[in-house]
A and B are shown apart, each in its own frame.
Chain A
Amino acid sequence: MSLIPSKKWVLWSLVSFSLVTLSLPTIIIIGASFTSGDIIQFPPDGFSLRWYERLWELDDFKDAFLRTFQVSLICTVVAIPVGTLAALATVRYRMRFQQTIQVYLLLPFTIPLVVSGIAMMILFGEIRILGQLWPVGIALCLINLPFMIWSVSSTVNGLDPELENAAHSCGAPPVQTFFAVTLPAVMPGIITGALLMFILAFNEFLVSLFLTDARTVTLPVQIYNSIRSVITPDLAAVSVVYILVALLAVWLLDRLVGLDIFLKSR
């Protein structure tokens, strides 16, 4: 495609500007985390890994990281079957609860997280499961599940509606059809959704704040607690850990599904 030169120039400036503004905070944080000084600053004051070493020594952060990992894992493991079946049920099999699920899909935009947080805190308190880790995972799954459903539905929508019939005409009974054809065909959506669920849970703060206590505090809440006392460059180091986790997810996505599927409009 050839563009008129001036148009091309405008386009390029816009793209570069967006890229810079989007990546600037990341670059600053990464830079600041390597400072050898005692305060967060950019450009960093010298170069050292001392804040990463310190982070490693802080058991609070390490434990919080592991707990966050567990919570995100629980959230993801629950979301995969529930979200996949819900998505297939709505788009593929035209089930009875279609309307209910459609409304649920809009919830992230309508119910503020504070409300969900408080509601679940009260509920979990009532049934005496507050103070454990797994209910946090379930809670995060509940509030983020629409993203999983969306991800799978968009793949399902792209499939030929006759895919299952094609499998039947190949001699595959319904159960085989589901496992050999339907499920693998929606796998890109499932993987995408699962990684999305993991990252969302890994970052979730507000609801976790309501549902965790000193024994079950997760990383985002731990960060929040520590900035209330004093801000040191180890926070920049934590942020870099976050960036690494996100990069890992994107890398996994590329390996498992292929990023070209997402960058290509099919």
Chain B
Amino acid sequence: MSTAANMVEIRNVSRAFGQSVAVDNANLTLQRGDFLTIVGPSGCGKTTLLRMIAGFDEPSRGEILINGQNVASVPAYQRSIGMVFQKLALFPHMTAFENVAFPLRMRRFNPALIPELVDRYLSLVKLDHLAARRPHQLSGGQQQRVAIARALSFSPDLLLLDEPLSALDKKLREEMQLEFRRIQQELGVTTINVTHDQREALVMSDHMIVMDEGVVQQSNTPREIYNRPGNRFVAGFLGVTSMFKGRVSAIQDGLLSVDMGGVTMTARGNDALFSIGDAIDCAVRAEQITLLEEGAQARENTVTGLVRQRIFEGDRMVYEVRVEDMNDSSLYVFDHNPGKHGEHDVDTTVRLGWNAESFYAFPVVK
């Protein structure tokens, strides 16, 4: 086995189906042992990208390197890649044990060692007691675990996960996310996970890529992407985000003065992208907005608005507030301790504030 620094390297890869481009000039590098999550809305090309890495499909352009080797001419069954499929694709005629043993048999492991290996991986996913069951005799979560053990039992260079958790209910899904993370860290296997669930992406990964319409929008650590969204799409996709239209009235040191249609606010943005008079989009996350109590000190951006809707979510209260001074736009704000602050009724006036640091400015995309 070679020891190239990068386990996976994707260079300018595109894949077109007829006229439609499913993946458009994608680039990424993934280091050995890393956990990468590709997140994006349904239909943005995640599966297409994953299938090309697995070898089920070929790029129209560009190249894919695994372990430093260009894999263009390597068929799927000769790549050292374990995959957990969206609908699992367990072998229905085999028991859990046989499913996990299958890759070992196909890859000519010493037959004497196979039972021990299968046991080890079934224990890893806590399923050793159900080894004799067929897939249809197992629950959804248990089938999931068989699929994981099958993908891992032959110690692949790379593990690919294509939204394997999307079919599970919320509680089980969150349990399995942590389970995946535990197993991945225990084995240190390089992993690419694909999901449309932003929470999953943020929770599970070392590294994260946001995709939309076949294009990689941003690539960085989850924390960095969440806190510094690179464009309007990323800002809107992650978290509960409110968007506003505005016009630049002054620029200074990465801070923009923005005319919001009644008030002037301060937003954060890359100087080079803007000039005075530009129409821009501004975004703020719900958790960055503070409900200001009477007499509280104003923030860098402070407005008053009318409560339109109040949504009780158990651990928090969500308010939808309409702000006349911002072109009548609506924004969402959380109150994580409604008991302490008292509730605001619909149609009452509230004062809201947030810092320039968390008010992102983006050029309007045509």
Q: Are B56 and A185 in contact (CB under 8 A)?
A: no
Stretch at the interface among B4-12, B74-82, B275-283, B352-360: B74-82
Residue of A166, A171, A174, A176 near B91 (CB, 8 A) is A166
Tell whether, in the assembled complex, residue A159 and residue B85 are in contact, meaning their CB atoms are under 8 Å apart.
Answer: no
Contacts of A172 in B (CB 8 A): 77, 102, 106
Judge if B136 is at the interface, Cβ distance under 8 Å. yes
Given contacts A184-B93, A266-B136, whether A169 and B54 have CB atoms under 8 Å apart is yes
Whether A163 lies near B56 (C-beta < 8 A) is no
With an 8 A cutoff between CB atoms, is A160 at the interface? yes
Once the chains bind, are B107 and A171 in contact (CB under 8 Å)? Answer: yes
Contact B92 A159 (CB under 8 A): yes
Task: Given the known inter-chain contacts A168-B76, A169-B54, please indicate yes or no for A160 contacting B150, CB distance below 8 A.
Answer: no
A165 at the interface (CB under 8 A from B): yes
Instruction: Output the nearest chain B residue to A172 by Cβ-Cβ distance.
Output: B106
Count chain A residues whose beta carbon lies closer than 8 angstroms to a beta carbon of B.
22
Could you give, for residues 233-253 of chain A, a 1 whenever the CB lies within 8 Å of some chain B CB and a 0 otherwise? 000000000000000000000
Q: Give which listed residue, B89, B106, B154, contacts A165 with CB less than 8 A.
A: B89
Q: Which residues of A contact B306 (CB under 8 A)?
A: none
Cα A167 to Cα B98 in complex, Å, equals: 13
Is A181 among interface residues, defined by CB-CB distance under 8 A? Answer: yes
Contact bitstring B303-336, A, C-beta under 8 A = 1, else 0: 0000000000000000000000000000000000
Say yes or no for B182: interface residue by CB 8 A criterion: no
Which of B54, B78, B106 is A176 in contact with, Cβ under 8 Å?
B106
- A177-198: contact bitstring with B at CB < 8 Å (1 yes, 0 no)? 1001100110100000000000
Chain A residues with CB under 8 A of B86: 162
Most chain A CB atoms below 10 A, which of B82, B88, B89, B90:
B89
Of all chain B residues, the one with the shortest Cβ separation from A181 is: B91
Chain A residues with CB under 8 Å of B91's CB are 163, 166-167, 181, 184-185
Chain A proximity mask over B141-182: 1 for CB below 8 Å, otherwise 0: 000000000110010000000000000000000000000000
- A142 to B73: give the CA distance in the assembly, Å: 43
Contacts of B78 in A (CB 8 A): 171
> Cβ of A167: which chain B residues have Cβ within 8 Å of it?
77, 91, 102, 106
Question: A260 CB to closest chain B CB, in angstroms?
Answer: 10
Contact between chains at B151 and A169 (CB < 8 Å)? yes
| B236 close to A (CB within 8 Å) | no
Alpha-carbon gap, A127 to B75, bound state (A): 48
Bound: A159/B85 CA distance, A: 13
- Cβ of B13 within 8 Å of any chain A Cβ, yes or no, is no
Closest to A186 in B: B93
Partner of B89, one of A163, A171, A180, A187: A163
Alpha-carbon distance A165/B77, docked complex (angstroms): 9
18 contacts between A and B (CB under 8 A): A160-B87, A163-B91, A165-B51, A165-B54, A165-B76, A165-B85, A165-B89, A167-B106, A168-B56, A168-B76, A169-B76, A170-B106, A171-B107, A171-B154, A172-B77, A181-B91, A184-B91, A184-B93
Q: A residues within 8 Å of B by Cβ?
A: 159-160, 162-163, 165-174, 176-177, 180-181, 184-185, 187, 266
- Kindly list the 6 A-B residue pairs having the minimum CB-CB distance in the complex, ordered from nearest: A170-B103, A166-B89, A171-B106, A168-B76, A160-B89, A162-B89
Query: What 13 new A-B contacts, CB under 8 Å, besides A167-B106, A266-B136?
Result: A159-B92, A165-B76, A165-B83, A166-B89, A166-B90, A168-B77, A169-B77, A170-B77, A172-B106, A184-B91, A184-B94, A185-B93, A187-B93
